[in-house]
Amino acid sequence: MKGRPPHRGSGAKRGPGGFAPRAGTGPRTSAKEAAQRAARNRGEDAGERSPWDDGAAIEAAPRPKRPPRAAAPKADAPRTGAKAAVARAPRAESPPPAAGPTRREQRAAASATLASGVQTLTVAPDEAGMRIDRFLGARFPQLPFTRVQSIVRKGELRVDGKRAKPNDRLEPGSSVRVPPLKLEQPTDRPRSAAKVVGDAEFLRSLILYEDADMMILNKPFGLAVQGGSGTVRHVDGLLEALTGPDGQRPRLVHRLDKDTAGCLIVAKTRLAAATLAKSFRSRAARKIYWALVAGVPRTRQGRVSTYLVKDEPTDADARMRVAKHGDEGASHALTYYATVDQAAQKLAWLSLKPVTGRTHQLRAHAAHIGHPIVGDPKYFDVENWELPGGIQNRLHLLARRIVIPHPRTGQPVDVSAPLPPHMAQSWNLLGFDAARYDPIVEAPEA
């Protein structure tokens, strides 16, 4: 794939997308090796230590083992380059949509129904696994998402008679009780044709990969993924410009922080969105991030295993802090890291592979091991540290690469994003070669 750094310096056999083979796909291990691996997962010394076991990290309590996943079939996945000028694969036409009400008709019906009082919604099969707040937002797109989150947080929704939490996942056939809501009537004020065309052209300039089911965008630094207080321009709003004649619009599958650049997956259909979301939940989606951090880790390859909790539970963008197992609201977070290159002892280029997907996980973990990411306004706390000349005070974090099973074929889609301008400038100043072999591909998958 053009734009992706070639893998050099290792003769190890790779799985789909160039990642190391998953557990269960390699040679059979002995009982002793299996015991040693289990001991390492518990944070014990089994006589040998993997280079990924970082002694400085806080080890989490053992978690229940999950059944092994089947290895993704090896096949040639469609790939594209990281540069905007690279030729893309032909864009297949989307399949004709199933007959049904248009988006405008759905909005009008939702407003009329909710204005009349309480109603009960039934979860459709293709909505299985959706978060309750995403479900409500999809059913009633004219309801501001901040209002949706407030409704769920206050316990005004009931799922099968029980109070729902924002991150609860829905099962097909479940009943969702929605309280009376007064929604703003949809306006027929037409959008500026020039704005729609401009937004569509802007989004298409970001495409790294596209087919009939999904897109992978190169999200720029500073562009929010979703709206919020004071946020007017964001990816979710821009996607309206790609709404089809039938009212279907592309849907977000996951999110990145506003100041994190790189690979962002967007589904073109509701079925593709549900399938891709399941890939993230089952950890079948594998991600690599690049970061520039202060200092150089003493352990060049390791893992950080902690529990993270929000300082302000009601704030979606609150700072995360390391917590103890069992603390209210704390979730386990696991990250593998590798030092790719360094500039003396001042700065290091880290490659990061998150196993879990917690809010601000990589930023919090980098700060936790004493090497916060350069330009991070929330987590950079090194005293008397001066930014080297020529390096911009912007978050140096890139969602560099993602490998995910295609929602329809199951074949791996492997895409890499280029360095954003401010990181490319830093790499040039420090003499880092973006084509250098990235040792994070050797890290475990779990």
224 has which bridge partners? 234
pLDDT tens digits for range 126-176: 777 778 877 877 777 666 666 777 777 777 888 888 888 777 888 888 888
Q: Same domain for 238 and 336?
A: yes
Domain membership flag for residue 5: no
Q: Same domain for 257 and 395?
A: yes
Domain membership flag for residue 411: yes
Q: Which residues are CB-neighbours of 361 under 8 A, at least 6 positions away?
A: 308, 320, 333, 335, 354
Amino acid sitting at position 369: I
Whether residue 25 is predicted with pLDDT greater than 50 in this model: the reply is: no
- What pLDDT does residue 256 have? 94
- What pLDDT does residue 61 have? 43
> What is the CATH classification number for the domain harbouring 114?
3.10.290.10
Domain membership flag for residue 24: no
Catalytic-labelled residue, pool 211, 213, 236, 257: 257
- What pLDDT does residue 104 have? 52
pLDDT tens digits for range 40-53: 554 444 445 677 76
| Window from 112-116, 159-163, 279-283, 387-391 with minimum mean pLDDT | 112-116
Domain membership flag for residue 29: no
Q: Out of 119, 143, 178, pick the residue that ends a domain.
A: 178
Domain membership flag for residue 437: yes
Q: Same domain for 267 and 353?
A: yes
- What pLDDT does residue 264 have? 97
Whether residue 304 is predicted with pLDDT greater than 90 in this model: the reply is: yes
- What pLDDT does residue 150 have? 75
Q: Same domain for 318 and 434?
A: yes
Give the HSE-up count for residue 34: Cα atoms under 13 Å, Cβ half-sphere.
Answer: 7
Distance CA 274, CA 415 (A): 20
The band of 3, judged by pLDDT with boundaries at 50, 70 and 90, is very low
Q: Out of 144, 178, 212, pick the residue that ends a domain.
A: 178
Amino acid sitting at position 267: A
Q: Same domain for 233 and 287?
A: yes
Helices 132-139 and 145-153: angle between axes, nearest 10 degrees = 130
The band of 26, judged by pLDDT with boundaries at 50, 70 and 90, is very low
Q: Same domain for 166 and 122?
A: yes
Strand extents, DSSP E, 77-174? 119-122, 158-159, 162-163
Q: Out of 123, 153, 178, pick the residue that ends a domain.
A: 178
Q: Same domain for 206 and 310?
A: yes
- What pLDDT does residue 106 have? 54
Q: Same domain for 257 and 373?
A: yes
Domain membership flag for residue 208: yes
Domain membership flag for residue 241: yes
Active site residue 433: no
Residue 133, burial from CB neighbour count under 10 angstroms (0-12, 13-18, 19+):
buried
Other Cβ atoms less than 10 A from the Cβ of 114: the count is 20
Q: Same domain for 203 and 253?
A: yes
Q: What average pLDDT does range 86-104 have in this prediction?
A: 46
Domain membership flag for residue 39: no
**What domain count does the chain have?**
2
Distance CA 366, CA 339 (A): 12
Q: Same domain for 133 and 158?
A: yes
The band of 314, judged by pLDDT with boundaries at 50, 70 and 90, is low
Q: Same domain for 114 and 196?
A: no
> What is the CATH classification number for the domain harbouring 417?
3.30.2350.10
Give the single-character DSSP code of 411.
Answer: P
Q: Same domain for 339 and 241?
A: yes
Whether residue 373 is predicted with pLDDT greater than 90 in this model: the reply is: yes
| Window from 53-62, 238-247, 437-446 with minimum mean pLDDT | 53-62
Cα–chain center distance at 307:
19
Range of the domain at 356: 192-446
Q: What average pLDDT does range 224-231 have in this prediction?
A: 80
Q: Which residue has the tokens 């027929």?
A: 188
pLDDT tens digits for range 322-359: 999 989 889 999 999 999 999 999 999 999 999 999 99
- What pLDDT does residue 95 have? 47
Whether residue 2 is predicted with pLDDT greater than 90 in this model: the reply is: no
Whether residue 224 is predicted with pLDDT greater than 70 in this model: the reply is: yes
Mean pLDDT of the chain: 78
